[in-house]
Structure 1
Amino acid sequence: MTTPLQVAVMGAGAVGCYFGGMLARAGHAVTLVARPQHVEAIQRDGLRMETRTFDERVRLQASTEPAAVRGADLVLFCVKSTDTETAGRLIQPHLGPDTLVLCLQNGVDNAERLRAVLPAHEVAAAVVYVGTEMAGPGHLKHHGRGELVIDPSRASERVAAALGAAGVPTEISANVRGALWLKLILNCAYNAVSAIAQRPYGENVASAGIPEVMRDVVSECLAVAAAEGVQVPGDVDAAVRKIAESMPSQFSSTAQDLARGKPSEIDYLNGHVVRRGAAHGIATPANRVLWALVKLVESRRAVPQS
C-alpha cells in the first residue's frame, strides 16, 4: 500500500461508518466524528461491520468533536443535507490547506453549498451507492453495493486508488452532476415510498400500483433534469430496477429517519424536483404527493402523543 491517508469522517452515520470502516480495515488512519452513543461504543469495542462478506470489529478513532478533522488529508463529509452549512462551518477552522473534502451526501447541490462555506478549500462531490444502516451503537449493517463516483480533483487519483484498494470501487467522472441527478432520481423513486410504508425496497416494488407510481416519479425527474440541462448517464430504467434487485431488504434513509423520529431529507429529494419543476413550469404531481405525504408523517411524529 502507498502512504496511508489520514481520514476523518464528519457525520459518521451508516454511510460514513461504512466507507470510513473500509478504509480503516485497509490500514488508513481513520477518525469518525459521530454521535455520543456511537463514539462510546466504538471507543470501547471498535466499529462492528456486519457486511455481506465479513462480520468483524474494526479498530479506529472516534470523537464527538469537529476539531477531530484536524490533520486529515481527506474528510468524508456525510452529514444530512439539512446540516451542510452548519457542519461545514464547524470543521472550517480545523482543515489544512491541502485537505480534500468529499461530499458523500444525498441531493444534488451539497458540494456547491459547501464550497460557499469553505471557499479556501477543495470540495468535491461524490455519488454514493450503498445500502447501510446503524443496527445499534457502533454497529453498522451493510445490505449491499458500496461504490462511489467522484469529481475530478487535485487528489482524486490518490483517493480513488486508496478507496479501490480498500474494496470500494471508485470511478472518477467528469459528469458527476449527471451522476448525482441519477442518484437523485433513484432516491425519489424509492425513498418516500419506503418511508411511508416502512417497508424495504423488495416488498414495495412487488406491491400493486407501486411500480407505476415509481415510473411516474422517474418520468417527472427526467423532464426536470432535461430542463436543467443535465445529462443523466446510462439506462435510468435499468438503474431503478437494479436497486430493488441488489438491495431488496434495504429500508431507505428516509424510512430510517422517520422510524427514529428524526427530520428527513425529503426537501432535498422529491422536494427539490418539485421546486425546480415549478421554476421551469413543469408539473411534478407524483413527486409532490410523495413529498407532501412524507412531510405529513414527519409532522405527525413531531407532535407528542397523549
Structure 2
Amino acid sequence: MKYGIIGAGAMGYRYGVMLQKNAGVDVDFIDTWEPNVEKVREQGGVSVARDHKNRRIIPINIFYPEEYSGHPDVWIIFKKQMQLAEELDRDNAAGIFHDDQYVFSAMNGMGHFEKIAKYFPKNHIICGTAMIATRMDGPANVDFMGAEGTEVMHMARYTNEKPDEKTKAIADDFKKAKLNPIFADDWMEMCMSKVVFNAVTNTLCTMFEMQMGQFIEYEGVRAMARQLFDEAYDACERAGIYLIPTRQQQVDSVITVSQEYKYHYPSMYQDFSKGRPTEVDYINGYIAKIGREHDYICRTHEFVVHEVHMAEMMRKYHKPQENVADNNIQKEGVRQ
C-alpha cells in the first residue's frame, strides 16, 4: 500500500521513514512548515540519527498540500492538537482527501479523532497510541530514541469493530516496519491509558524542565504519580472508561519507561522549550474535563494545568534551559 504522512515532525518522520526503509512501501510526506519542507529539498532528504548516532540523510518525497497530486491508500496524521483543525481544513481544500482512503493517528492528547471524523468515514479511522520517543532538533533533523525493535504501539478501529482486511494490511505493514503493533478492543480505553501516562511524565517533566531520568531520581515520584493516576482512573471509571493497565502497572511504567529514556525530554517540554504552546489542555485538561462531566473534580490535574500555563507565561522573563542531553551522553559515555 501507499502511505501519506500529514505532519513531517518528530513522529511523522519516525513512522514514515521506518515504513519506507523497513516495510519497503511508498511514502509521501505532506507538511506546511516552510523551513522544514525547504530544508528537506535543500539537503535531499531528512537527517536521521538513532540514539544520537549514525546520522545520515534519508531521501524522502515531501510536498505542500496545494502541490500534492498523489492518492495514498492510508493517511498517517501527526500534528499538534492545537494545529490539527487548521491543517485538516487546508488539506481538504487542497483536494487531497478521498472517500476510499483510511486514516491512522497516534497523536498525544485527546480530541483529534472527532476532528478527523469530519473528513473520513468513522469505519475508515484507526486510532493509535505509541510509546515511542523521538526528538526533532530542527527542520528536517530528527533523532529516533531507543534501540530498533523496542518501539511499542497499539491500534483499534474508531468504531470498535474487529479489524477489517484493510486494517489488518496496515498492521502488517507496521509490523514489517518494526513498529510492533498490538490490537486493542476499545479505542477510548486504549487512548486514555496513554493520556493518563503522559499526564504524569510529560507534564511534570515540563513544569520542572527535567529529563525523564532526572524526574525519577526524586524519591517521591511514585507518590506523585499515584495521586495523579488515582484521580484520572476515578474520573474515567465514572465515565465508564476502564483503562488497560492497572493503577499499579501505570505507576511502575513511569519508572521503567523513564529508565529506558532517561536522557529524553518529553514532547511537551520540547514544545515548551521552543516557545510553542503545550498540549496540557488536551492531556491533564482532558482528564479534568471528563471528571467534571461526571460530577468529579480532578483537583490535582486542574492545578497542574494552571501551573504549566503559568510556566508558559514565565518564558517571557527567562529562557527555558537548553537540552543538555547531548552533553550528558558525552560525559557518561552512554547512549541516549
Q: Distance in 1 between matches of 2:223 and 2:69?
A: 45
Distance 1:228 1:54, change over 3 A: farther
Matched to 1:74, the amino acid is V
Distance 1:176 1:241, change over 3 A: farther
Q: Distance in 2 between matches of 1:69 and 1:229?
A: 43
SS at match of 1:140: strand
Q: What does residue 225 of structure 2 align with?
A: 214
Correspondence 1:213-252 to 2 at 5 A: 213-234=224-245, 235-252=249-266
Q: Distance in 2 between matches of 1:165 and 1:278?
A: 42
Correspondence 1:1-306 to 2 at 5 A: 5-26=1-22, 27-34=24-31, 35-43=33-41, 44-52=43-51, 55-65=55-65, 68=68, 70-92=70-92, 93-119=95-121, 122-144=124-146, 145-152=150-157, 153-154=163-164, 155-234=166-245, 235-301=249-315
Contact 2:65/2:90, CA 8 A, preserved across alignment: no
Contact 1:74/1:102, CA 8 A, preserved across alignment: yes
Show CA shifts across 1:256-296 (max 9, x none): 11101001111000011112212222232221221111111
Q: Post-superposition shift, 1:108?
A: 3.2
Instruction: Report which stretch shifted further, 268-277 or 137-146.
Output: 137-146
SS at match of 1:116: coil
Matched to 2:50, the amino acid is T
Q: Post-superposition shift, 1:11?
A: 1.3
**How many positions carry a matched residue from both structures?**
301
Q: Distance in 1 between matches of 2:168 and 2:142?
A: 28
Gaps of 5+ in 2: 158-162, 320-336
Contact 2:10/2:135, CA 8 A, preserved across alignment: yes
Q: Post-superposition shift, 1:54?
A: 5.5
Q: Distance in 2 between matches of 1:227 and 1:256?
A: 33
Q: Distance in 1 between matches of 2:69 and 2:219?
A: 47
Identity %: 17
TM-score by length of 2: 0.82
Q: Distance in 1 between matches of 2:2 and 2:276?
A: 31
Q: Distance in 1 between matches of 2:56 and 2:178?
A: 15
Instruction: Report which stretch shifted further, 162-171 or 52-61.
Output: 52-61
Q: Post-superposition shift, 1:101?
A: 1.1
Contact 2:104/2:126, CA 8 A, preserved across alignment: yes
Q: Distance in 2 between matches of 1:120 and 1:249?
A: 39
SS at match of 1:56: strand
Q: Distance in 2 between matches of 1:257 and 1:69?
A: 31
Matched to 1:22, the amino acid is M
Matched to 1:299, the amino acid is M
Matched to 2:28, the amino acid is T
Q: Distance in 2 between matches of 1:58 and 1:229?
A: 45
Q: Post-superposition shift, 1:105?
A: 0.8
Distance 1:121 1:281, change over 3 A: closer
Contact 1:196/1:294, CA 8 A, preserved across alignment: yes
Gaps of 5+ in 1: none
Q: Distance in 2 between matches of 1:304 and 1:213?
A: 27
TM-score by length of 1: 0.90
Q: Post-superposition shift, 1:301?
A: 3.1
SS at match of 1:94: coil
Show CA shifts across 1:156-206 (max 9, x none): 111111111111101122222211111011100111111111111110111
